[in-house]
Amino acid sequence: MRKIAIIGGGSAKFVRELVVDFFSYEELRELEISLMDIDAERVARSERMINKIIRDRKLPSRVSATTDRRQALEGADYVIVTIMVGGLKHYQSDVAIPAKYGVLQTVSDTIGPGGVFRCVRTAPVLRGLASDLREVAPCAWLLNYANPMAMNLWTLLDSGHERSVGLCHSIQNTYPQIARWIGIPPDEVRYTAGGLNHVNFYLTLEHKGRNIYPDLLAAKDRVVTAEPWERPRFELLEAIGYFPAEGPQHQTEYYPWFRKDETVAKQYACETYWGYDRDSANYKARVSEVDRQITGKEPIVYERSNEYGARILHSLETGRPRVFYGNIRNHGLIENLPPQAVVETPCLADANGITPCRVGQLPAALAALMTPHVAVHGMAVEGALTKSRRLVRQAIQADPLTGAILTLPQIRAMTDELFLENAEYTSDWATD
**Residues labelled as active-site residues:** 169
End-to-end CA gap in the chain: 51
User: In angstroms, rounded to a whole number, what is the distance separating the alpha carbons of residues 247 and 109?
Assistant: 14
- Please name every residue paired with 79 in a beta bridge, in sequence order, or none if there are none: 5, 142
- Among 69, 4, 2, residue whose Cα is nearest residue 38: 69
User: In angstroms, rounded to a whole number, what is the distance separating the alpha carbons of residues 273 and 106?
Assistant: 6
User: In angstroms, rounded to a whole number, what is the distance separating the alpha carbons of residues 84 and 127?
Assistant: 15
Contacts of 295 (CB under 8 A, 6+ apart): none
| Cα torsion through 222, 224, 230, 232, rounded to 10 | 120
User: In angstroms, rounded to a whole number, what is the distance separating the alpha carbons of residues 216 and 243?
Assistant: 9
Amino acid at site 104: L
User: In angstroms, rounded to a whole number, what is the distance separating the alpha carbons of residues 43 and 318?
Assistant: 30
Helical ranges in 137-186 per DSSP H: 149-158, 170-182
Strands 199-207 and 322-329, by their bridges, are unpaired
**Quick one: how many helices (H) and strands (E) in the chain?**
19, 13
Amino acid at site 142: L
Coil, strand, or helix at residue 250? Answer: helix
